[in-house]
A and B are shown apart, each in its own frame.
Chain A
C-alpha cells in the first residue's frame, strides 16, 4: 500500500474509531444518573450548532483543497503526445511505450461496451483512471515520473472475462 492510500485508510479508521468511542460513551450514560429531556435538549442544541459549523468548515476546506486535484481541465487540446486507446471485450489496443517525465494524453474510447482504463504503477497501485465508453472519447492527462512496467486493468464491469482484461506498457 503506498503512502497516499495508507493515509486515506488510516484517516478513515481514526474517524470511525472516534465515532465508535463517542457513541459508546453516549450509550453508557444510560447507566448513569438520568436527566429529563427538557434539561438535556437545550444543551444538546447548543452543541449541535457548534457541530454544524465545524462540519461546514471541514466541508468547505475539503472542497477547496480538492479543486486543485480535479482531473478535468481541457486535455483534449493539450500539447504533448496523444495516445489512442481502444478498449474492447476483453483487452486494450494501446501503445507499448510511453515517455517518462512527459505530459501525455490518453484518448480513450471503447469498441463495444463500457470499460474502465485503470493505470497501475510498477508497485501495483492505481495511480489514474478514466472510463472507456462507446461513442465517446475521454481524454486522460498523465505525467509518469518513474520508469517501469505499468499495468492497465479494466475498472468497469464488462462481462465474463472482466477480471482477465488487462494490458501493459513500459514507461522509459
Chain B
C-alpha cells in the first residue's frame, strides 16, 4: 500500500482534490441530517409543516447530487492530472463558481424558503409560490453558477484526456477495438480504465450542462420578464435530460476512482481491454438518452421516445453489470485483497450499485412504471446506488488516500461497527422506501397516507443507525488524517 508508485507527489494537485472532496463531504453530511429530518417528519416524529419540508426537500435533492459531483470532480481531476498535468487555477475557478452557486442555492432555501424541488418544473417556481421572488432568482442563478463551474471543469478534463491519448481516436480506444494487431505493434499504451470514465464524464457532462443551462436561462428570462412563455413539455425534457445525466455521472466519476484504487488493494491490475472500451462507448450513449423514462407518464411525448427510454434504460445496465461490476468481482476473486475501510467501501459500493440498478430497471419497465412512477420506489432505488454506491466509492477513495499516507488501517472492530451502521442502518432505511413504494405510497409528500407514516418510523430508525455509522467513519478518518505520515509520503 505504501509503495512509491502509489504516492502522489504533487501537493498543488492534492490541495485541489481535497478542497473538492472535503467541501463535497461537508455538504453530504449536512444533507444526510436534512434527509433524516424529512423522514422524521413523514414518521410524524417531528411536525414542522409542509412549507419547511418542501424547502428542505429542494435543498436535499440539489445538495446531495452536488456533493457527490464535487467529490467525484476532485478525485477524477487528481487522477487525470497524473496522466497529463492540468492548470490548477482553472480547477480552482470551477470550484469557486460551484461553491458560490451552492451558497446561492442554500440562501434561496434559507432564509428564502424556496421549495419548488430540485426539478423546478416550469411553471412551478412562479405559480402558487409561497416564497419571495428573489428566492426563485437566487435558486436559478445558483444552479446556473454550478452549471458554469461544472462546464469549466468538464472542458478542462476533456482537453486533458484528448491531449493525453492522442485525440478522440486514442481516448476512445478506437484502434484498440478495431485495429488491435496494429495497435499492439505500435507499442502505444492504451488509456487506463479511469480515463474512459473521465472521457464519458466530460462529454456527457458538457451535454447535460448545455441542457441545464438552456432551461435555466429560459427560466431566468421568465423570472425577469414574466411575459415570456415557456413550453412546459420542452422544459421538462431539458430538466430531466440535465438532471438524469448529471446524477448518473456521479456514479461514473466515482467508479473511475475504484478502477484505480481497488486493484491496489487486491494486488492485481484492472486492464483496459477492447470490451471495456466498447462498454464505455455504450455508457456514453445510453446514459444520455435513458432520461426519457422520467417522462413515461407524459402521454403527450412522441411515442417513439417512450420505447427508446425503455430500451436505453435496459442497455445502460449492460456496461456496469457485464464489465465494471463483474470485473470488480473478478478482481477480488481469490486475490490477496486486504480488507480495510477503503476496500470494504469500494467493494460494498459495487453491490449497492448493482442492487439499486435492478430497482431502477424494474421502474424503467413501462407497464410497471404505471404503478411505481412517483411512488417511494423511486427514492428507494436512487438512494440505493447513491447512498450505498457512489457515497461508498467516495468514502473508499478517501480511506485509500488516508491509509496510504498514514500507513495505518482501521481495526476489525471499527470496520464492523462502521459496516453495521452504514450497511445495516442504510438497508433498513432503503427497505422502507421499497416496501412503501410497492404499496403505492406517493413520494414527495410531507404527510403520507397510510401505511407511509408507520413505514417511515422504522425507516427513520435505520437512518439514525446509518448516521451513527457515518459518525464512526468520520472519527476514524480524522484519526488517520492526524496520524504521522510514512516515509514514502511526500
B288 within 8 A of A: no
B117–A157 touching, CB < 8 Å? yes
B172 within 8 A of A: no
Bound: A71/B355 CA distance, A:
27
Contacts of B375 in A (CB 8 A): 126, 155
B322–A48 touching, CB < 8 Å? yes
Q: Residue-by-residue, is B197-218 near A (CB-CB < 8 Å gives 1, otherwise 0)?
A: 0000000000000000000000
B367–A69 touching, CB < 8 Å? yes
Select one of A32, A37, A71, A154 contacting B370, CB under 8 A.
Answer: A71
Q: Give chain A's interface residues, CB within 8 Å of chain B.
A: 1, 4-6, 8-9, 11-13, 15-16, 19-20, 22-23, 26-27, 29-30, 32-35, 37, 40-41, 44, 48, 51-52, 55-56, 59, 62-63, 66, 68-72, 89, 112-114, 116, 118, 120, 124-131, 133-140, 153-164
Bound: A126/B372 CA distance, A:
8
Contacts of B232 in A (CB 8 A): 114, 133-136
B414 within 8 A of A: no
- By DSSP majority rule, is chain A's interface helix, strand, loop, or mixed? mixed
Q: A40-B335, A113-B123, A159-B128 are in contact. List 18 more A-B contacts (CB 8 A).
A: A4-B371, A16-B358, A23-B347, A26-B333, A34-B336, A37-B331, A52-B322, A59-B315, A66-B310, A68-B367, A116-B297, A124-B440, A125-B371, A126-B440, A133-B232, A133-B298, A136-B232, A160-B130
Contacts of B439 in A (CB 8 A): 1, 5, 125
B306 within 8 A of A: yes
Contacts of B185 in A (CB 8 A): none
Residue in A closest to B329 when the chains form the complex, CB atoms? A26
A55–B310 touching, CB < 8 Å? no
Chain B: minimal CB distance from A103 (Å): 16
How many residues of B sit at the interface, in one of the four size bands? 35 or more
Chain B: minimal CB distance from A122 (Å): 13
Contacts of A139 in B (CB 8 A): 299
Select one of B269, B374, B447 contacting A116, CB under 8 A.
Answer: B374
Select one of B268, B298, B359 contacting A131, CB under 8 A.
Answer: B298
Q: What are 22 A-B interface contacts by the 8 Å CB criterion?
A: A5-B440, A8-B368, A15-B358, A19-B358, A26-B333, A27-B332, A30-B336, A55-B322, A66-B365, A66-B366, A66-B368, A69-B366, A69-B367, A70-B306, A89-B128, A113-B124, A118-B374, A128-B370, A129-B374, A155-B297, A160-B128, A163-B50
A138–B298 touching, CB < 8 Å? yes
Q: Give chain B's interface residues, CB within 8 Å of chain A.
A: 50-51, 54, 115-117, 119, 121, 123-124, 127-130, 231-233, 236, 268-269, 295, 297-300, 303, 306-307, 310-311, 314-315, 317-318, 321-322, 326, 329-337, 339, 347, 350-351, 354-355, 358-359, 362, 365-368, 370-375, 434-435, 438-440, 442, 444-450
B318–A138 touching, CB < 8 Å? no
Residue in A closest to B323 when the chains form the complex, CB atoms? A48
Q: Choose among B322, B333, B354 the residue with the greatest number of A CB atoms under 10 Å from its CB.
A: B333
B335–A156 touching, CB < 8 Å? no
Bound: A117/B231 CA distance, A:
20
Chain A: minimal CB distance from B419 (Å): 12
Bound: A133/B444 CA distance, A:
18
Residue in B closest to A166 when the chains form the complex, CB atoms? B449
Contacts of A70 in B (CB 8 A): 306-307, 366-367
Residue in A closest to B365 when the chains form the complex, CB atoms? A66
Q: In the complex where A30-B335, A40-B333, A155-B374 touch, is A12 in contact with B358 (Cβ < 8 A)?
A: yes
Q: In the complex where A62-B314, A113-B123, A113-B124 touch, is A6 in contact with B438 (Cβ < 8 A)?
A: yes
Chain B: minimal CB distance from A126 (Å): 4
Bound: A11/B335 CA distance, A:
32
Chain A: minimal CB distance from B272 (Å): 14
Q: In the complex where A4-B371, A161-B50 touch, is A62 in contact with B365 (Cβ < 8 A)?
A: yes
Select one of B121, B129, B366 contacting A156, CB under 8 A.
Answer: B121
Q: Choose among A33, A44, A133 the residue with the greatest number of B CB atoms under 10 Å from its CB.
A: A133
Chain B: minimal CB distance from A65 (Å): 8
Chain A: minimal CB distance from B379 (Å): 12
